[in-house]
Structure 1
Amino acid sequence: MWSWLSVALSGFISVNANERSQYVQAAVFKTLSLCMLVIILWTQGRPDDVSVWWVTLGIVVSMFADILHIYKKKKKLCFSAFILAQLCYSAAYWLMLSGGIVWWLPAMLLAIGVVVFFLMLPKIDRVIFPVVIMGMVLFQFNWAAGELWLTADTVASMMGFVGTLTLTCSAALLAVHDYKHSITYGRYLISGSYLLAHSLIVASLIT
């Protein structure tokens, strides 16, 4: 319990520091939050599980991407790092799958994604191409986690699926907040949902 509270507290300090333009403090505490998630994963999870390795790699890449995003440097490299992190998480879930595929799930996710894209289109007109790329990566990530949930039908797999959906919502909020118009308490919503998503993904591998 205390380890999870420490993750949340470090994340809050990071967001608060970022709002006050204290970028060094923001980067340190954001990295600390993700480092604590790695420690939780390796102390309470199964180190021999290849999915743990993939999620760990994804978190490490996310640390690098977060630092670039906080300092607003090398946006293309930052975007590529976020994509790579999500692909690492996706690999972890795809590797846990076995058996047939439930085809109605990707069809439903794709339909929802298309509807959301056209609803958001007036708000993201300047960043359509990156949003499409990010959306495709998140789509297959949600598909993998959702497929695992339908197959395993456990609390852990459900937490993983909810985590991927939360990460998708965080990415959508980020696109609107950073590139179109500010959302009230947007930075707290984005960072809070981002950290929650990572926490759920980690929890799905140790529950």
Structure 2
Amino acid sequence: MWLVIICLCLAHICSISRGPRWLFYLTKPIPAALLTILVVNSPSTVYPDYTRYIALGLAISVMGDIFLMLPTDKFRQGLICFLVAQVSYGYAFLTRINSFEPLWLPIMFASVGVIVFLLLLPNMGKDKWFVGSYFVGILFMACNATLAWFNVTTPLTSMAMIAAYIFIMSDLVLAIDRFRSSSAFSRHVVMFTYYTAQSLFALSVIWAA
């Protein structure tokens, strides 16, 4: 299954600039769908809530992938899907947190989020409320992943935290491409980092099973 997922991810990344379009549309949502199946079929008896929330986040990501790949601009609908996915991931990591220390960590994430949001704000237009809400969601996810790692440093929490930061990198490149300046390879970077983050989220469940 993993070989199929890797091949589909590479095929989609190549099809961004080379086509054909049918391959682009076919391959974009399937990796997240297959990762969902892998997680559902590898339930953790130790962390059942963690498994459910990760699986839910991956499943909703499939819907977000479909919205964002449509020829018509469905950016807001896709963003809402990924907001729900980030909240689901955030709750998954919340189940691994016993203590919310250090207290400076949420403040740091919030401060960085505000700075990045203000830098992008002049070009957001009417999307600002959707983007702002998404910022809250992904920072909630990343902060919880980091707190879980601070609580107990294990391969599971380390992998989840790395995945959270890679996801932020993916979304930051996407935001810069959409609201600041576009580049020829930005979408390739977005999808490579996106697939990497989602795969690590799935692996954090499979390895814990």
TM-score bracket, shorter-length normalisation: 0.7 to 0.9
| Higher share of residues assigned helix | 1
Within-5 A mapping of 1:113-124: 113-121=113-121, 124=123
Question: What is aligned with 2:59?
Answer: 60
Flag the 1:91–1:22 CA change in 2: closer, same or farther, 3 A.
farther
Question: What is aligned with 2:112?
Answer: 112
Structure 2: how far apart are the matches of 1:60 and 1:38? 6
Question: What is aligned with 1:25?
Answer: 23
Structure 2: how far apart are the matches of 1:149 and 1:72? 40
Deviation at 1:17, TM superposition (A): 2.4
Does the CA-based 8 Å contact 2:170-2:194 persist in structure 1? yes
Deviation at 1:71, TM superposition (A): 0.9
Does the CA-based 8 Å contact 1:170-1:194 persist in structure 2? yes
Within-5 A mapping of 1:10-89: 10-20=8-18, 22-46=20-44, 49-73=48-72, 74-89=74-89
Question: What is aligned with 2:7?
Answer: 9
Does the CA-based 8 Å contact 2:156-2:204 persist in structure 1? yes
String of CA shifts for 1:21-70, please: whole Å, max 9, x gaps: 64442232222211221233234452671221111111111111111111
Taking structure 2 as the reference length, the TM-score comes to 0.85
Flag the 1:23–1:89 CA change in 2: closer, same or farther, 3 A.
farther
Q: Tell which has more relative contact order, 1 or 2 (C-alpha 8 A, sep 6+).
A: 2
Where does structure 2 lack aligned partners over 5 or more consecutive residues?
A: none
Structure 2: how far apart are the matches of 1:49 and 1:137? 22
Deviation at 1:125, TM superposition (A): 4.3
Does the CA-based 8 Å contact 2:124-2:179 persist in structure 1? no
Question: What is aligned with 1:141?
Answer: 141
Flag the 1:70–1:154 CA change in 2: closer, same or farther, 3 A.
same
The alignment yields a C-alpha RMSD, in angstroms, of 2.3
Structure 1: how far apart are the matches of 2:132 and 2:71? 21
Does the CA-based 8 Å contact 1:23-1:71 persist in structure 2? no
String of CA shifts for 1:154-180, please: whole Å, max 9, x gaps: 122011011111111111111121333
Taking structure 1 as the reference length, the TM-score comes to 0.86
Bigger mean CA deviation after superposition, 99-108 or 165-174: 99-108
Provide the aligned length of Structure 1 versus Structure 2: 204
Structure 2: how far apart are the matches of 1:79 and 1:44? 28
Structure 2: how far apart are the matches of 1:100 and 1:116? 24
